[in-house]
């Protein structure tokens, strides 16, 4: 399918899972009546987000759900012919993950565990370790959760894996350290829009950005859900209010048009990009790069391994025609 109506939701979700499921059902029904084939719900739509991002209370964390929890299967049944992305707290046994799952009436199409954790989340979640796109009835999709989209490498990894649509699920609050009197002036509100538009434009893909609204603990969420075209233009948005941003997009045609002259993925120069490595040749952990004279000469660029199939969806892989050799 090339032309698809894409809906990005702005809504509030809390700890009451039955209430959350009822709200999800209503949003799916609203999206269906608008003709949407894809609905992107916010991060933590099942169980709500953290109540305190600075010092999360270990006794007040979101309910953790197994990947095959019946409530996730209920969302799949509600989705039926639609494709729906939804965020939840994943029970990984000894660890919890801030996760997202993409479903339809046929079952699970793809999964993602949030890779980049802001400071407070480290106390509540373990990080994921990969970005992988997957095929769906509405096109090849890649998912990002919240802080993931702050890092250009996240969206670029998915675009190189053939993603045509990026689904960005967020529970993104206003600034915690320097809250503005009006949301339109808030630093995080500006960054939220900037990242959405930049990630779409730099990768020349369609992006659907959902976000929570309302408040949880001391945090107030931005809303600002939107659909962004591959040129970085906002096609539909909710602003700060709850609701759906819906846009009809001929995905393949819009991507082809954006890449007609400048094809960002093909025109990369990975041989010129520095990749920092430790003395034994391993990639250096994020945040530990040495500076100045202590910094050894960078090793030649070597592409990282493809996403492990153990966390990939059961659908077949379709190669991309453009793939190259804080709060």
Question: How would DSSP label each residue in 18-73?
Answer: HHHHHHHHHHHHHHHHTT-SEEEPPTTTBT---S-SSS--TTSPPPEE-TT-HHHH
Q: Report the pLDDT averaged over residues 204-231.
A: 96
Give the number of other Cβ atoms within 10 Å of residue 8's Cβ: 35
pLDDT of residue 315: 40
β-strand pairing of 206-212 with 3-11:
parallel
Q: Compute the chain's Rg from CA coordinates.
A: 19
Nearest to 159 by CA among 197, 185, 133: 133
Percentage of the chain surpassing pLDDT 70? 86
Contact partners, residue 190, CB within 8 Å, separation at least 6 = none
Contact call for residues 60 and 124 (beta carbons, < 8 A): no
pLDDT of residue 132: 98
Decide: residue 100, CB within 10 A, 0-12 exposed, 13-18 middle, 19+ buried. Answer: buried
Unique residue bearing structure tokens 């915690």: 176
Q: pLDDT tens digits, residue range 138-163? A: 999 999 999 999 999 999 999 999 99
Question: In the numeric block, which tokens belong to residue 71?
Answer: 């409530």
Contact partners, residue 139, CB within 8 Å, separation at least 6 = 1, 2, 4, 164, 165, 251, 252
pTM here is 0.85
Nearest to 133 by CA among 321, 315, 324: 315
Q: pLDDT tens digits, residue range 237-290? A: 999 999 999 999 999 999 999 999 999 999 999 999 988 777 777 776 544 444
Question: In the numeric block, which tokens belong to residue 292?
Answer: 């100045």
């Amino acid at each position: 399918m090339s032309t698809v109506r894409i809906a990005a939701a702005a809504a509030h979700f809390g700890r009451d899972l039955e209430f959350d499921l009822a709200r999800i059902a209503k949003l799916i029904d609203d999206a269906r009546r608008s003709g949407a084939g894809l609905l992107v719900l916010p991060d933590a739509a099942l169980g709500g987000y953290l109540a305190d991002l600075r010092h999360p209370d270990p006794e007040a964390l979101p309910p953790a759900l197994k990947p095959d929890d019946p409530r996730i299967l209920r969302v799949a049944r509600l989705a039926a012919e639609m494709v729906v992305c939804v965020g939840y707290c994943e029970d990984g046994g000894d660890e919890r993950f801030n996760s997202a799952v993409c479903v339809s009436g046929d079952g699970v199409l793809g999964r993602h565990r949030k890779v980049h954790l802001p400071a407070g989340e480290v106390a509540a979640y373990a990080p994921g370790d990969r970005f992988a796109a997957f095929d769906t009835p509405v096109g090849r999709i890649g998912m990002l959760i919240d802080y993931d989209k702050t890092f250009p490498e996240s969206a670029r990894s998915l675009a190189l894996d053939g993603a045509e649509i990026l689904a960005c699920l967020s529970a993104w609050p206003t600034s915690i350290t320097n809250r503005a009197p009006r949301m339109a002036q808030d630093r995080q509100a500006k960054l939220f829009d900037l990242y959405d538009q930049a990630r779409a434009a730099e990768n020349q893909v369609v992006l659907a950005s959902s976000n929570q609204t309302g408040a949880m603990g001391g945090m107030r969420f931005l809303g600002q859900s939107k659909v962004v075209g591959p040129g970085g233009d906002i096609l539909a948005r909710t602003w700060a209010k709850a609701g759906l941003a819906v846009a009809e997009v001929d995905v393949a045609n819009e991507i082809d048009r954006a890449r007609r002259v400048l094809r960002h993925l093909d025109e990369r120069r990975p041989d010129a990009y520095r990749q920092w490595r430790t003395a034994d040749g391993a990639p250096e952990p994020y945040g530990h790069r040495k500076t100045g004279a202590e910094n050894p000469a960078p090793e030649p660029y070597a592409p990282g391994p493809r996403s492990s199939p153990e966390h990939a969806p059961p659908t077949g892989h379709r190669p991309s025609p453009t793939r190259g050799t804080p709060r």
